[in-house]
Homo-oligomer: A and B are copies of this chain.
């Protein structure tokens, strides 16, 4: 490798001269840019991706697929800024472990090694930090991954919010596994592993001080065991995606756009808890847009649908798995849904900001 230029100081005038700011309607970054919806996509597509274009950078996957000396690796990163940091069913530390484990799993990889980067606000209670660390330890043990490197920064009071955590991870992809959007074909079946919107509503119920008869808990979970079960049932799985920020809708729209095919969902087939449905009505939220932290979309050719569904249902994290729709040739790039009352409507990506700092 030859390093041609060494001087590290950057001539912004030259840089900016040749690369003017892309046209954007926003002079500032807004909360909606972090929603996982349309604005997030536009920000990433206009401001970031074109600048770093390379064969590995795939915005529509949860991680990068690398090939190092003939070993296929997945590499992924996520920062966690959830508020509050402790919530029913989990906390920011557990989320940070499971989230990156899941991103790697969605690449078909066996998650192996994680890094942890802490940004702590001055004044954060040592005991809360301890609870976060212990739950990360516990979550890593459950997911069979190792933390191998880390970093700790402290920012002044009022310049953070207790703690933010970045986790990055490396996983190994078995040779015979090949998960990618390009595999998706018309006729493919769409399966989800369980009820939607639990995580987002658990967070919102704390923020809004809502009480329900049954406590709504986050579904945060490491999905690598379930993915292993699925891939043991069949290696012909076309695509895996976890439905986190932006909910099921964002993921399905991304896949439809990228595959240039249509997605057809049936509302009545999408599993949702009664109390979550009720909470969504109270809060005026569409559960299809609400974040999950332990739910994944599995896209399979019709021939293996029953096999995969049964395998999923045999796993504790997939016992409510259901086929919720299929990939079609019609309305390419769009998601249509047959509603509960029999009509059908377009389900578009979230355009504003719904639930800031949900993960």
Contacts and interface: CB of A to CB of B under 8 A. Distances in A.
Contact of A124 (B29, B91, B133, B228): B29
Contact of A57 (B26, B27, B149, B317): B149
A6 interface: yes
Contact of A77 (B19, B110, B137, B149): B149
A24 B98 contact: no
A151 B8 contact: no
Given A8-B294, A64-B148, A148-B56, A79 B115 contact: no
Interface stretch (A153-161, A261-269, A295-303): A153-161
A142 B143 CA distance: 37
Contacts of A9: 89-90, 217
Interface residues of A, number: 120
Counted per complex, copies of this chain come to: 2
A340 interface: no
Interface centre among A63, A120, A139, A168 (most CB of B within 10 A): A168
Interface stretch (A10-18, A182-190, A206-214, A324-332): A10-18
A222 to B, nearest CB: 7
A228 to B, nearest CB: 6
Interface of A: 1-6, 8-10, 12, 15-16, 19, 21-22, 24, 26-34, 40, 43-44, 47-48, 51-52, 54, 56-57, 63-64, 66, 68-71, 73, 75-81, 83, 89-91, 94, 98, 110, 112-113, 115-127, 129-131, 133-140, 142-144, 146-156, 158-161, 164, 166, 168, 170, 172, 217-222, 224-225, 228, 294, 316-317, 356-357
